[in-house]
Amino acid sequence: MTQERPALMRRGNPKYTWEDTIAAIGKDFSGGKKRVAQETIETTTVARYCEVWEIGNPIYWHKDAARQAGYQGMVAPWSSIKQTFTSRGFWRPGDPSRFPVGTDMNAMTASAFDDDGSGEEVPMPPITQVIVTDVQIEFFEPACVGDRLTVQGNRLANVRPRKTRIGVGAFINNENEIYNQRGELVARVNQGMYSYNPE
């Protein structure tokens, strides 16, 4: 017997409407919490990232090349900053299992977007599905080997309720900033998602 794949997310509250979400545009829902990356950027991690994409720029491979180009050390590719080097990880010893008893082991039971319980609830009606629609990243400082990145903020930037072919919901954009351990702004991220209920 095949189990139905669980919904990617279940969020929201029936007491809210999309008008409540729109009214909250501009508010920071992080609650002041900072999300520190699980690990420091390391030479081997940068190499493994570059290998997969066959990125051969010498500033990602050699400290001397990076310094000659004006960087403090080996640089992490810009494309790795948001998903790879700001990750808090999906599981560590002591955490509950991501695969509860009775769950299809091939089904997605958690995601990179799962709420970690920090911050405030965004006022929105219940939704069961989310897809990423767009990501815009503005870079200020390079992230280098030895840096440990921190994500700050969760500002609601835009809300556009829409009925689409896949369901009824809203396109939502959130903004946050990424800093290194010296407090320097590395990047500002605006990520769009379609939060919806399938029809």
Q: Kindly report, residue by residue over 124-172, the tens digit of the pLDDT.
A: 999 999 999 999 999 999 999 999 999 999 999 999 999 999 999 999 9
Q: Kindly report, residue by residue over 38-86, the tens digit of the pLDDT.
A: 999 999 999 999 999 999 999 999 999 999 999 999 999 999 999 899 9
Place of tokens 């139905």: 4
Give me the residue spans of the domains in the chain.
18-92+118-198
| Residue 38 CB coordination number (10 Å) | 13
Picking from 108, 53, 103, the residue whose alpha carbon sits closest to that of residue 76 is 53
Report the predicted TM-score, pTM, of the whole model to 2 decimal places: 0.83
The fold of 18-92+118-198 is: Thiol Ester Dehydrase; Chain A (3.10.129)
Region 165-193: mean pLDDT is 97
pLDDT at residue 114 above 70? no
The model's confidence at residue 118, banded by pLDDT at 50, 70 and 90, is: low
17 with 122: CB under 8 angstroms?
no
DSSP the chain: -PPPPPPS--B--TT--HHHHHHTTT-B-STT-EEE-SS---HHHHHHHHHHHT---GGGT-HHHHHHTT-SSPBPPGGGTTTTTT---S--TTSPPSS-TTS-TTS----TT---S-S-------B-EEEEEEEEEEE-S--BTT---EEEEEEEEEEEEEE-SSEEEEEEEEEEEEE-TTS-EEEEEEEEEEEEEE-
Structure tokens at 29: 């829902």
- The pLDDT score that the predictor gives to residue 62 is 97
The arrangement of strands across the sheet holding 167-179 comes to 34-36, 150-163, 167-179, 185-198, 129-139
